[in-house]
Amino acid sequence: MRYPLSIKQIRKNNKRVEFVGSSYGLFCFTGFYLGEDDCFDRYVIWNPSIRKSVTIDVPYQDCICEYGDARKNVVVGFGVCPKSLDHKMVRINMLGIPYEYKKLGYKHDRFVRVDVFTLSGGVWRRPLTKLTSKWFHIYIYGQTSVVVNGFIYWLSLYKNASAIISFDLTSEEFTKIRVPHKVSHYHYELFKLRESLGVVQWGGSKESYDVWLLDNVSKSFIKLYTFTLPNRWKVVGFRDNDQLIIEKGDEYSVDNGVRRYVAELVAYEPDSKQFNKLGFNAGCYSCTSYTESLLLLDQPDTL
């Protein structure tokens, strides 16, 4: 599958393209792009099944707000609203308060600014609801967001404890969800599992893992099972049959005398506790299921 020209331009210009998320058969990527006359934060929404993409450029001057450079500490989420099928991007900018603002009496170390882009509207705007002032200390991890059932989820730190922040793509409301077993030395990763939010949790040793599933009604987590992994192996996603996709990272190859790291993807069956090779020798930050769609069919082709 060939990437659209807009993504190739980012890779050629900046050498780095970040994956934002996927929803309804669409993928969203972002990267910094330096044009002839200006520089941009570029976002690309791509439907590989119909080979169409839409490019959204945010000029550098639009990234400057009253508290500093919005390109720093920015977390982006992408999803399709299930009711309107409109494409939305959410930029959460966690801004440090400059010294001159602290002299004026500001007590918080950070501000949170949120902007929402809808493809139908074509402009960035503030969401319908605002983050409350008590959330000023929130810090959202740079991990790729997870989109499930009309919600975007991010991991976050809130008052020095882990939490999950959700954004309703329909009402544009933010909600804070407690992580299971809220212990400071635990680590978490978010994934899509059974059309709900799955959480993989492990301790400092990173050998014993717990898998939790969010109940969409009670908004509480149910523990599914516990499993163990060798050192340097990691979970990167789930298959539709609930098997975990594991990056097996303990093999090396020698190429012209140079030792190179080789990552192999395997599937883990929770019931039988067996690992099965998937036939891919490639590193992977995260994996997600894919469903074909016709979204973007009515949009101008920017390939």
Which one, of 91, 112, 216, 116, lies nearest residue 172 by Cα?
Answer: 116
Whether the Cβ atoms of residue 177 and residue 219 lie closer than 8 Å to each other: yes
Contacts of 129 (CB under 8 A, 6+ apart): 171, 172, 173, 174
Q: Cα 91 to the chain's mean position, in Å?
A: 12
H or E, element range at 99: helix 99-103
Sign of the torsion angle spanned by Cα atoms 221, 193, 286, 265: positive
Please give the chain's pLDDT, 303 residues, in tens: 677 777 776 666 665 778 888 888 898 988 876 655 566 678 888 888 888 888 887 765 444 444 444 445 678 899 999 999 999 999 887 765 544 445 555 555 556 778 899 988 888 888 887 766 566 566 676 656 899 999 999 988 776 778 888 999 999 999 888 888 765 567 888 999 988 999 998 876 657 889 999 998 888 899 999 888 887 788 888 988 888 898 887 556 556 666 666 678 889 898 888 888 887 666 555 666 667 777 787 776 665
Q: What is the pTM of this model?
A: 0.81
Residue 164: phi and psi, rounded to 5, are -120, 130
Burial 57-78 (b: 16+ CB within 10 A, else e): ebebeebeeebbebeebbbbbb
Whether the Cβ atoms of residue 131 and residue 112 lie closer than 8 Å to each other: yes
pLDDT for residue 141: 67
pLDDT for residue 303: 52
pLDDT for residue 107: 52
- The beta strand positions in 122-186, using DSSP E, are 124-125, 139-140, 146-148, 151-158, 161-168, 174-178
